[in-house]
Amino acid sequence: MHTLDPAFGFRRIGGEVLFERPVALARPRNATTIIGVDRNATRMDHTLVRAIAFARTWADQLEAGEIRSVVVLAATQKRCLHYTNRLLPLAYLAPDLVEMIWPEDSHAR
């Protein structure tokens, strides 16, 4: 007899059974790898949270006109231009994604 891993979800659609499993995608060395995700994981990725915080601050400064360009921003922050350009899109992540990365109850920490 086969048992079903509790991390799997499943539902029946018509005559088919749809299995659901949370996954994360990683892109090491230009390859995409699927890795399992623990739904009950409470460990926060502080590096990613920090990157989002930087990106939001920088985007606010650029939008307010406090800083003229990304080049000036990178120089002001003493960061590589490539790094700055890679982080800025994090400022515009969908709110539900940010909530998954940085739960509301942990913002004050």
Instruction: Give domain status of residue 78, yes or no.
Output: yes
Q: How many CA atoms lie within 13 A of 89 on its CB side?
A: 4
For the whole model, what pTM was predicted?
Answer: 0.58
Q: Determine the structural domain holding residue 87 and report its residue range.
A: 46-106
Instruction: Give domain status of residue 51, yes or no.
Output: yes
More confident residue, 5 or 88: 88
Contact 10, 17 (CB under 8 A): yes
Q: Cα–Cα distance between 88 and 69 in angstroms, integer? A: 12
Instruction: Give domain status of residue 72, yes or no.
Output: yes
Domain count, the chain: 1
Average pLDDT, the chain: 77
Instruction: Give the Cα-Cα-Cα angle 53, 56, 89 (nearest 5 degrees).
Output: 105
Per-residue pLDDT tens over the stretch 1-15: 444 455 556 677 777
Instruction: Give domain status of residue 35, yes or no.
Output: no
Instruction: Give domain status of residue 66, yes or no.
Output: yes
Residue 7's nearest CA partner among 40, 32, 52 is 40
For residue 72, give both structure tokens.
Answer: 């000036």
- Above 70 in pLDDT, residue 58? yes
Amino acid 34: pLDDT: 53
